[in-house]
Chain A
């Protein structure tokens, strides 16, 4: 399937976000990490295993009328490090963002260690996860110092 055919498969959106170049088969994880369930009424298009001139096959997600915040783009790096994020306004790409791990996640991810102080509900604490290696990647809880695999991270609801 050509890129043109992919365009036909998922219609263009007037306003919203297109997440492109997601590794084939991982679009549902992208929806999950962004907390997109479809229950909020947004129009979501998902194409999986479509051809890509850059990476062979890929997934694409389009979300109408929702503009990803920069910190949401950061979260994407955990599941789709090669993805690109296009913010669409009036059918045109208004902004192109590269997905990249930030230096830290503050108030976005929580530590999976149940005995970490950051999971105590009554303490005034903003869970902070440091990205100590962006290549591997390696994350570390600022508080308990546990090394965390990206697949173990938990989103703060």
Chain B
């Protein structure tokens, strides 16, 4: 087992180098063998999951990953069942779970909470999403799918569509692709939901080429990956803006016919109506494989960090 990640925190995908990503993906390939049968690699180890915000895929895949690796899971998926509702600080909650577990996975709406947890805990802390910028394990899953599909991530042309301002998977993916060469990003969003300036500044500094646009159509023939995020009505100050933009950010079969051959459609899920059900049956749809890959990828991560 690669020892480079042992005992480390994962707060941002940028905590991993390109070679560490390669090593992790190689182990994820191996872990696919154990995704159903399981191993006892992390026997007697305990994963604590603290989800202060709702999650389906991230939490369940982390928990399944730990169980498949022979370990055990404690934690909560609903903060109302913890003492945090009585005003207990995050720091105190972390200290307690630090003493019970071998690794902590946490999701919190407050930005920087994962880094605070990492400063307090002696065991590794894995960020399962905090604030609106970082979601490293989602990005690992996303990059792993692209690597599996194309055999490489270098030189891919990736469009990210939807609410780029508030979607942490979108900004996290921008950080993640900066570890690869020649990637070109197409950031497609309504004007009020454009990617944060500091993420774009980071892309520029990292030499990642990107285009910003409010429409996708003119790029359909160029892109290899269409990464869809959902527009959320509550994010718009004026609800009529939501109605105005919504239609332009729905994937249609007609669009797919005009797309570059072999283009894949990804989504971090859950989707609302931005990917209609009929898209599920097209050869372009990959979002279910993407979600399924969360298991071997998180198994690989846990085994490298805790193993």
Contact = CB atoms under 8 A, between A and B. Distances in A.
Interface of A: 111, 113, 115-118, 120, 122-125, 141-147
Q: Is the interface of A mostly helix, strand, loop or mixed?
A: loop
B74 interface: no
Contact of A124 (B87, B91, B112, B198): B91
A30 B81 CA distance: 50
A2 B91 CA distance: 58
A17 B125 CA distance: 46
A44 B240 CA distance: 57
Contacts of B90: 117, 120, 123
B206 to A, nearest CB: 14
Nearest to A124: B91
A135 to B, nearest CB: 13
Contact of A116 (B87, B111, B201): B111
Contact of B116 (A115, A122, A125): A125
A115 to B, nearest CB: 5
23 contacts: A113-B111, A115-B110, A115-B111, A115-B131, A116-B110, A117-B90, A117-B115, A117-B116, A120-B90, A122-B87, A123-B89, A123-B90, A123-B91, A124-B89, A124-B91, A125-B91, A125-B116, A142-B112, A143-B113, A144-B131, A145-B111, A145-B133, A145-B134
Interface of B: 12, 87, 89-91, 110-113, 115-116, 131, 133-134, 198, 201
A106 B87 CA distance: 26
B157 to A, nearest CB: 27
A122 B111 contact: no
A115 B110 CA distance: 6
Given A117-B111, A123-B116, 14 more contacts: A111-B112, A117-B90, A117-B113, A120-B90, A142-B112, A142-B115, A143-B111, A143-B112, A143-B115, A144-B112, A144-B131, A145-B12, A145-B115, A145-B133
Contacts of B12: 145
Nearest to A146: B198
Most buried by A among B112, B116, B198: B112
B142 to A, nearest CB: 20
A120 B110 contact: yes
A105 B9 CA distance: 23
B51 to A, nearest CB: 16
A104 to B, nearest CB: 14
B4 to A, nearest CB: 23
A118 B112 contact: yes
Most buried by B among A120, A123, A144, A146: A144
A144 B91 contact: no
Given A122-B89, A123-B89, A116 B112 contact: yes
A124 B12 CA distance: 22
A117 B89 contact: no
Contacts of B111: 113, 115-117, 143-146
A123 B117 CA distance: 11
Contacts of B133: 144-145
B87 to A, nearest CB: 7
Given A145-B134, A146-B198, A147-B201, A117 B112 contact: yes
Contacts of A125: 91, 116
Contacts of A142: 112, 115
Which 9 A-B pairs give the minimum distances between C-beta atoms?
A: A143-B112, A144-B111, A144-B112, A117-B112, A147-B198, A117-B113, A143-B115, A117-B110, A116-B112
Nearest to A147: B198
Nearest to B202: A147
B122 to A, nearest CB: 16
A25 to B, nearest CB: 28
Contacts of A124: 89, 91
